[in-house]
């Protein structure tokens, strides 16, 4: 039997192309140390997702797992490569799932988590991109003997849109720390604005946010992310601010107002990275340091049933 069916394909700085790759529930040694990739298929979905990873040689069952979410270019390999130095230093398993434009088209398919069908009906939760992360975490735990019951997640640009909505719409997810860096626009935690710019008609009620507000979410902003292409300029987006930096502030301010109105503790916070614009590679180091400081072995948090 072809060993590639059981083993993550190890790379030597060249792109791996193997049409026979498929996802199976594998043996413990399936994820080799170093850089590699494999294809994951969710149990109830026919869509395949390539996962780019880096596993330090010193990784153990008490190390950290960190998901990194790519931007609008869907360039998971690039994001993986930009984070390898930080994975080595922090001794964490780096996972970068790549949601292709073919399988998850447009901002609805990725940025918004694939939560709604083209008909605008709400999708089954197992079809959400957020559910993919949860299922992938279970799979990786099984093939690495990883013991902890939580993971951390970082996203930049479109990936930051993914991350903050993940925290809001799937509050039961086993996220320890989430970082949303330089998002272009937000789903504001308010029911006075229609989805996707707010929660009105989203299916999520304001009282449902208490568990999300209890999650550790860091809104990470580059101080110079004030003039960049690909910025959404719809009236609803412009109402959030004229650029990403101001929109991030507005998102955090709205969250504080909403939490105060509900008399709920807010565990979200905003941090600024000086002298950095819209650049993942420059944001990554600061984010990795934050994740290392926030990492403590979870205890008493049950696995999802």
pLDDT tens per residue, the chain (305 residues)? 233 222 344 454 333 333 333 333 333 347 899 999 999 987 765 789 999 999 999 999 889 999 999 999 999 999 999 999 999 999 999 999 999 999 999 999 999 999 998 767 888 898 999 999 999 999 999 888 888 899 999 999 999 999 999 999 999 999 999 999 999 999 999 999 999 999 999 999 999 999 999 999 999 999 999 988 889 999 999 999 999 999 999 999 999 999 999 999 999 999 999 999 999 999 999 999 999 887 754 433 433 43
Would you give the DSSP letter of residue 127? G
Give the Cα separation of 40 and 57 in Å (integer). 23
Q: Which domain holds residue 220?
A: 3-294
Closest CA relative to residue 45, chosen from 105, 146, 123: 123
In a domain? residue 165: yes
Is there a domain that residue 122 lies in? yes
Tokens encoding 278: 């819209």
In a domain, 301, yes or no: no
Q: From the CA atom positions of the chain, what is the Rg in Å?
A: 19
Distance between CA 296 and CA 107 in Å, rounded? 33
Where residue 157 sits, what CATH number does that domain have?
3.40.50.1820
Tally of domains in the chain: 1
Say if 299 falls within a structural domain: no
- Residue 124 inside a domain? The answer is yes
Task: With H, G, I as helix, E, B as strand and everything else as coil, classify residue 41.
Answer: strand
Asked if residue 79 belongs to a domain, the reply is yes
* 18 in any annotated domain: yes
DSSP secondary structure code for residue 200 in this structure:
B
Pair of tokens at residue 76:
């998971």
In this structure, is residue 226 part of a structural domain? yes
């Amino acid at each position: 039997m072809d060993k590639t069916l059981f083993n993550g394909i190890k790379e030597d700085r060249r792109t791996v192309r193997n049409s026979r790759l498929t996802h199976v529930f594998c043996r413990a040694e399936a994820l080799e140390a170093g850089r590699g990739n494999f294809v994951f298929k969710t149990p109830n979905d026919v869509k395949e997702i390539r996962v780019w990873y880096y596993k330090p040689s010193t990784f153990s069952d008490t190390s950290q797992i960190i998901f990194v979410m790519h931007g609008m270019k869907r360039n998971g390999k690039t994001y993986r490569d930009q984070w390898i130095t930080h994975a080595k230093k922090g001794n964490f398993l780096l996972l970068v799932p790549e949601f292709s434009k073919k399988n998850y088209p447009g901002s609805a398919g990725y940025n918004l988590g694939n939560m709604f069908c083209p008909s605008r009906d709400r999708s089954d939760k197992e079809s959400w991109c957020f559910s993919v992360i949860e299922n992938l975490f279970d799979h990786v735990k099984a093939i690495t003997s990883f013991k902890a019951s939580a993971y951390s997640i970082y996203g930049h640009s479109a990936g930051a849109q993914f991350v903050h909505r993940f925290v809001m719409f799937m509050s039961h997810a086993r996220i320890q720390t989430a970082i949303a860096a330089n998002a272009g626009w937000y789903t504001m935690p308010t029911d006075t604005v229609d989805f996707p710019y707010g929660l009105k008609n989203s299916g999520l009620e304001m009282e449902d946010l208490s568990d999300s507000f209890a999650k550790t979410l860091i809104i990470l902003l580059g101080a110079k992310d004030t003039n960049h292409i690909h910025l959404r300029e719809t009236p609803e987006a412009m109402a959030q601010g004229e650029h990403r930096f101001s929109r991030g502030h507005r998102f955090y301010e709205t969250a504080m107002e909403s939490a105060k109105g509900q008399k709920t503790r807010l565990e979200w916070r905003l941090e600024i990275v000086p002298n950095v614009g819209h650049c993942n590679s420059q944001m990554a180091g600061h984010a990795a340091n934050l994740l290392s400081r926030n990492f403590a072995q979870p205890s008493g948090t049950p696995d999802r049933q």
